[in-house]
Amino acid sequence: MQAVTTHVREHRSVLAAVEKRALLWLAARMPRWVTSDQLTLLGLASMMAAGVAFAAVRFTSWSVVGVVAALAANWFGDSLDGTLARVRDQQRPRYGFYVDHVIDLAGTAFLLAGLACSGFMTPLVALALLAAYLMVTAESFLATHAIGVFRISFFGFGPTELRIVLAIGAVQMIRNPWVSIGGLPPMRLFDVGGLVAIVGLAIVFIVSALRNTRALYLSEPLPQTKQRAA
């Protein structure tokens, strides 16, 4: 959904241009009975389904099919809802920004809970990854309010790219859930991926915080104090 009108949406991921054309094509062909709110709910339901499917991998490897399908459905609902609203000129900027990101927070927490229950990711790694995600998200929201720029992607990666990486990882997890790095003992694939993601999110947080702090410092210089008369 669309952010507040005074905010600029910055989306520079690898697939951003292709994705935008695909979403506009889909939005123009959506039946009139399909609404943005329905797509938003589809995005939430599918992310919850992905979490359940991850947890079910413990019992049957076939549930990875549900993971991939749920991630695809999440892309469809979560990415198309705002485009559909803009194509139909039905934007509700504050409502859309708030609801969309509340759902993103809930959906991500549910997804990582499913991964923690799957047996393929250590619960502590999942918790640390959730904490790192929440820190980056909070910083992004603060920057949106203070600077007026809402960044959707970092270093070429956005939600769509992350879904693709997650789907590939889920398939590989069934084929071989262990990886060896150098002479270290084998580690869970998703533990390695989670640790890499944590480091990446930490870098994003630091770089964004420093960049935004500098921008605000320069835009709001200290007022000159008047010298007292001798």
- CA–chain centroid gap for 96, Å, is 16
Q: What token pair was written down for 146?
A: 């203070």
Do the beta carbons of residue 78 and residue 43 sit within 8 Å?
Answer: yes
Partners of residue 154 on adjacent β-strands: 157
Q: Which helix (H) or strand (E) holds 101?
A: helix 93-118
Domains of the chain: 8-219 (1.20.120.1760)
Instruction: Return the bridge partners of 10, or none.
Output: 151
pTM of the model: 0.89
Please report, in tens digits, the pLDDT of each residue of the chain (230 residues total). Answer: 443 446 788 888 899 999 999 999 999 999 999 999 999 999 999 999 999 999 999 999 999 999 999 999 999 999 999 999 999 999 898 898 999 999 999 999 999 999 999 999 999 999 999 999 999 999 999 999 999 888 888 888 899 999 999 999 999 999 998 988 877 788 999 999 999 999 999 999 999 999 999 999 999 888 875 555 44
Question: CA–CA separation, 217 vs 214, rounded Å?
Answer: 5
Residue 123 CA to residue 83 CA, distance in Å, equals 36
